[in-house]
Every structure is written in structure tokens, then in C-alpha cells.
Structure 1
């Protein structure tokens, strides 16, 4: 089967890391070996992109990161990941599974930060070279559940410390995009872990059968 690019999206603590593991296990069951699968994440995935992740996530009182700077840092990290990991893997026939991709900027910086969506569209058109996921899983949780799970985690980063209204705007943007894009599969991540895992596996198997 031809290689594909699959991404997982959602608010903080929606279960993206677990979902990526389930996707890889399901692909293995389908006959795609681990050596033919590349797992990565955003922001990050390369040494430079991981350094940019640290800047985005770090809490610092020395300098305020403006919303536009945050957006540009995210795209700088994304370009590094795209050019050094995603494209090379796809070009040699490997599957790529990514914890977040461009949809995160549309939701977090476009929805949460309320930046001009035309600016974001221009950036993605300019730097992504039409490399978009074949399939995206969106793990949906409500902002109040997101914040409750984060409170249990403790030691929150800069983004995890955002307000309820920020996460409400981010989620609403996600939902608006999901409704308009049939390459995105909606998963209710408020259900039990067993149910979420089964829904993920079933959705992926059904998608694989028609590709």
C-alpha cells in the first residue's frame, strides 16, 4: 500500500500521544512494519525545531513573546520538520505519523490568539509546498476537561497555562475546520480510554480499506 501522512490534533491532554501509538500498532496489524513508519511531533522533531519548541513552551519573565512571533516560530519549526523529516520519509516510501501539524496553527494561533487567518493561510501556502496530511484524527475534549487534566499534571508550560476562553476559541476553530474537511476524522476523546482506542482503530481500519 502506498505510504501516507497521518496527523493527530486536539487540545492539550486530549490523548494525542496515546493515539499516535494506537495508529502505529494498527498499521502494524495491517501489515505495515515499524521500520516503514516515522513518528514525529510539533513543534519539534529535529534539533533546531526542538530548540524552537523550548522557546515556545518556556515560561520566561525576561521577554514577552508576541502572538505574531509565536506564529512565525511555529512555522520555522514546521519548515525544519517538513524539510528534514517528513519529506525525506515520504520520498523513500515511509509512512509519517505526526503529533500535530499545520492545523494546530490554524486553531491555536488563528482561533486561540485570534490572528488574521489570511496571514496564516499565506504562510502555509508559502512554506508547506502542498504537503498536507492524507488523514487527520481530531481528538475532541471540552476546554473544562482540558484544564482539569492539566491541573492534575502540574508544572505547566506557557501554552498550557492559557485561559478557559483561549481554549474555547481554539476548540471552536478546530470544530469549524473539521466540519468542512472530510479528510479529518472526529473522535470523541471524552469517552473511556477503551472506547476512544476502539473508535480510533475502527476508523483507521475503515479508512485503510478504501485507500
Structure 2
């Protein structure tokens, strides 16, 4: 955070992360059952008030994700988890999205790659357009 994210934000740049605190809530609290308050305390200590403006959730049924993982080679330690773990993780992400007051954009990742890419592009274009409107000079 101190080496990459904060300097980039201070310079007025956008920061894209492939994982952030929401992944900790989904995998550790949702998947493994860790206490949310403990994670929230750690989040506050590490991040302070830093929080994402927008989260893109690529959502697909667990069996779809598992089928895609099979073709990638040796699974990592998370990919070796049981299906029930991933069902809990997915449910946790969806709960975070429902409780986020509009920060999440849910992308239907069960569709073919080109369709997912198209929806991602559309969402990103909308975000850039909104940012441009908010930052126009008078």
C-alpha cells in the first residue's frame, strides 16, 4: 500500500488491483470462518481509511470456475479446497456486493470470454466517463 497504491493515488493515477481486502473477507471469513471483527481490525490497521471506489466481481457458479481451473495445470493451495469452501467464498463475495451501497459491479463470468471482456470494457468506459464528468474544469 505504502510503496505502490498511495504514491499512485497521490499522483492522481488510477490503481487497479486483482485482489484487495474483500478477498480476505471472502476467503478467510466466508471460506474459513474467521471472525469478521478481527479481519476488520486488521484492515483498519493496515489500510486506515483507504478503500476501493469500485470493485469488479467476476461471478460464476463454482462448478464453472472449477472446470476452468482444471485446464491450467497444477492447482495451488486454494484451488485444492473442497467445493463447499468455494460455495462459501462465492456467497461471501455476493453478500459483500449486496451490502456495498453500489461499489460493486457484478460481471457474469459464466459467459464466454468475449462476452465477459465486452461487459468489463463497458463498465470501465462508464467509470472513465463518470470520472471525467466529476473532474471537468469549469
Q: Could you say which residue in structure 1 is the equivalent of 2:124?
A: 204
Paired residues in the alignment total 130
SS of residue matched to 1:185: strand
Q: Could you say which residue in structure 2 is the equivalent of 1:137?
A: 56
Q: Could you say which residue in structure 2 is the equivalent of 1:61?
A: none
* Separation in 1, partners of 2:73, 2:82: 15
Higher RCO, 1 or 2 (CA under 8 Å, sep at least 6)? Answer: 1
* Separation in 2, partners of 1:192, 1:167: 21
1:173 aligns with 2:92: yes
Structure 2 portions without partners, runs of 5+: 132-138
SS of residue matched to 1:119: helix
* Separation in 2, partners of 1:135, 1:167: 23
**Among 118, 122, 128, which residue is 2:41 paired with?**
122
Q: Could you say which residue in structure 2 is the equivalent of 1:89?
A: 8
Matches within 5 A, 1:10-21: none
* Residue 208 of structure 1, CA deviation: 2.4
* Residue 174 of structure 1, CA deviation: 0.2
Q: Could you say which residue in structure 2 is the equivalent of 1:101?
A: 20
SS of residue matched to 2:49: coil
Higher strand share: 1
* Separation in 2, partners of 1:95, 1:126: 23
* Residue 207 of structure 1, CA deviation: 2.5
* Residue 125 of structure 1, CA deviation: 1.4
**Among 106, 111, 121, which residue is 1:186 paired with?**
106
* Residue 183 of structure 1, CA deviation: 0.8
* Residue 197 of structure 1, CA deviation: 1.1
1:113 aligns with 2:27: no
The Cα RMSD (Å) is 1.1
What TM-score does the superposition give when structure 2 sets the normalisation length? 0.89
SS of residue matched to 1:138: strand
What TM-score does the superposition give when structure 1 sets the normalisation length? 0.59
* Separation in 2, partners of 1:189, 1:90: 29
Q: Could you say which residue in structure 2 is the equivalent of 1:8?
A: none
* Residue 185 of structure 1, CA deviation: 0.3
